[in-house]
A = this chain, B = another copy of it.
Amino acid sequence: MQTVLNADELNESKQAPPVEGVIPVILKRWSPRSFADREVSPALLRNLFEVARWAPSSFNEQQWRFLVGRRGSATYDKIFQVLGDFNKKWARLAPVLVLDVAKSKFTQSGRDNRVAYYDLGAAASYLCLQAAALGLAAHQMEGFDTEAARKAFAIPADYIVGTVIALGYLGEPGALGDEQMIQKELAPRTRKPLTEIVYLEWGKAAEI
């Protein structure tokens, strides 16, 4: 028989193993699918972007742009409509949907910004960490129709469409109403050992 944890118990079970000296919120953050039926205040929402913008970017281009939809707004509906079917099933629970986008050329020189998307990922990661610090939860999605998103918001051709971030307060796993999704929600967070990702030469683990 499936034992479903409540939101607090679940949050507890999702903590990454302690690492000495680590920024606590990095261990605390995870990407839920169940969100509580509770609005995010404008002040907290504003705080997330205040923080995200302190990410570094090449030539301090700050090429990130965020389209922010609160439930009930046209922006929210447009973002929701472009999501893939699987993501629609759970993201409907999130009170805020954010679409992030990156300018692909440097403003000053006009040359291509090779790391536009990389730096966008950094700013989005700051946003999600800060959400966790404020007791919120965030889940980034790549599963949506990027061209439909571009059309819905008339995003210029020199901007790259990034992800949709679902934001809100963590909800009960049972609210997902789908056994497969509940299983995903309860699964432990896992990561590769360092030997598989930290190299001295290609494919040869660094002994650190």
Instruction: Name A residues whose Cβ lies closer than 8 Å to a Cβ of B.
Output: 16, 19-23, 25-27, 29-31, 42, 45-47, 49-51, 53-56, 58, 60, 62, 64-68, 73, 75, 114-115, 117-122, 124-126, 128-130, 133-134, 140, 142, 146, 153-156, 162-163, 189-192, 194, 197-202, 206, 208
Contacts and interface: CB of A to CB of B under 8 A. Distances in A.
Copies in the complex: 2
A200 B153 CA distance: 9
B120 A49 contact: no
Contact of A194 (B50, B58, B118, B189): B50
Nearest to A46: B208
B129 A65 contact: no
A22 B50 CA distance: 9
Please name the 8 residue pairs, one residue from A and one from B, whose CB atoms are nearest each other, closest first.
A121-B121, A118-B121, A122-B125, A115-B142, A121-B122, A53-B191, A117-B117, A46-B208
A16 B54 contact: yes
A22 B46 contact: no
Given A55-B125, A199-B66, A201-B75, A19 B31 contact: no
24 contacts: A19-B51, A20-B47, A22-B47, A23-B23, A26-B129, A45-B208, A50-B194, A53-B192, A53-B194, A54-B191, A55-B125, A56-B128, A65-B198, A67-B199, A67-B200, A68-B199, A68-B200, A73-B200, A114-B146, A115-B162, A115-B163, A118-B162, A121-B125, A122-B125
